[in-house]
Structure 1
Amino acid sequence: MARPRVWIVEDDRAVADALQVLLSCAGYDASTFTEGRAAIRALSTTSPDLILLDLNLPDIDGLEVCQAARALPDYTPVVMLTARSDPVDRLIGLEVGADVYLTKPFEPRALLAQIKAIFRLVERFGHRDSDGVVPRVAALPLTNGPIVMWEAERRVEVQGRRVELTPKEYELLRLMLRHPGRAFGRETLLRAVWGYDFGGESRTLDVHIQRLRQKIEDDPAQPRWLLTVRGFGYKLVAEQSAEDRDAR
């Protein structure tokens, strides 16, 4: 079986060389691009199985490379690996289309774990090319614990069972799935889902959260995933945090 192809888009030669050695030893076919435009040109003729992307490139912003990858008919996972550590930069990177956003300096084992997790998702939810070797997907689903969301189809499953959500329930869940572990204030959720000019009662949010819990929780009265942040709002517990909590 062919080795998964990983492109490293990184202008720092020392970092790029270290990544190439790390990935090659882990069984990946790694190639390096030191400029963003070169990577975009290569994307016009072929596509890798995953892109490791720095944002501070010498010719263009790495976000443009991510946008070019997202314009491809086949979904190419993107891991942003950058020195930009501001939370706003992270949100922008994820909104542009990154699957994972990691900051430098990075832990090599953590990076490999993230890459392996992405390929597990591709294997689980993708299909194989005509050569039967490389898995490809139209888009990776959003996942957290038992919850899986296919955005292109607006389809949600919980523990393998399809659940029907109203449009507002869907938007609430999608926002939280994109940022597991983040606590959202009530006003933030109302503006994001109902719009900046929403003039209704905040009780509307509580009702939708209750209904959403009934659809995604085993016990809505004692939720495991969709929690209340007292005096602030709500959050979707990240999968690892929930597992650690259950182990205690």
Structure 2
Amino acid sequence: MARILLIEDDPNSANIVTRIMKRRGHEVIHAGEGLTGLNIVSREKVDLVLLDLGLPDIGGHTIAALINRIPGDIPIIAVTANDDPIVERRALTYGCDGYITKPINTRTFPDQIEAFLAAADGGEETEQEEKHDQSNPTEA
């Protein structure tokens, strides 16, 4: 089970995403504004952030950049209605690890999120294995 922070100002979108991910056994924490989400991610353990880019208080790109300053290498997935390739590149430049357009496909969305979670988890295991290998060298 992962702890997912959903930063989304649209209640309908938030309800859909929350319901889908809870069915997969994940805990979803919802923040309706960017600054609220930033506050949550700075004080609580979160495994993944789903970030709407069009927030009323502060732009999602800015929130992504600020989250990336927090220790812990938390994956951020932009979930937005804007399918402009320029906006997507900008999101990735500002620190988002993925980009999903709305309206989400309720059949494929959970698998997309699971893939991001697995990739993030695999990266942590790889780093831990590297540390273990460095501290316990084997003889050839």
TM-score by length of 2: 0.84
Which structure's residues are more often helix, by fraction?
A: 2
Distance, in Å, in 1 between the alignment partners of 2:60 and 2:120 is: 23
Q: How many residues align?
A: 128
Whether the 8 Å contact between 1:47 and 1:76 is mirrored in structure 2 is: no
Whether the 8 Å contact between 2:5 and 2:41 is mirrored in structure 1 is: no
Distance, in Å, in 1 between the alignment partners of 2:68 and 2:107 is: 27
Match of 2:34 in 1: 36
| Secondary structure at 1:109 match in 2 | coil
Distance, in Å, in 2 between the alignment partners of 1:7 and 1:27 is: 14
Match of 2:10 in 1: 12
| Secondary structure at 2:53 match in 1 | coil
Residue 118 of structure 1, CA deviation:
1.5
Moved over 4 A (4+): none
Unaligned segments of structure 1, at least 5 residues:
128-136, 138-248
TM-score by length of 1: 0.49
* 2:64 pairs with 1:60: no
Unaligned segments of structure 2, at least 5 residues:
128-140
Residue 40 of structure 1, CA deviation:
1.0
Match of 1:132 in 2: none
Which structure's residues are more often strand, by fraction?
A: 1
- Larger RCO (CA within 8 A; separation ≥ 6): 2
Match of 2:25 in 1: 27
Residue 109 of structure 1, CA deviation:
2.6
Distance, in Å, in 2 between the alignment partners of 1:125 and 1:103 is: 25
Deviations 1:204-241 (A, max 9, x none): xxxxxxxxxxxxxxxxxxxxxxxxxxxxxxxxxxxxxx
Whether the 8 Å contact between 2:2 and 2:47 is mirrored in structure 1 is: yes
* One-letter amino acid of the structure 1 residue matched with residue 116 of structure 2: I
Compute the RMSD of aligned alpha carbons.
Answer: 1.8
* One-letter amino acid of the structure 2 residue matched with residue 57 of structure 1: L
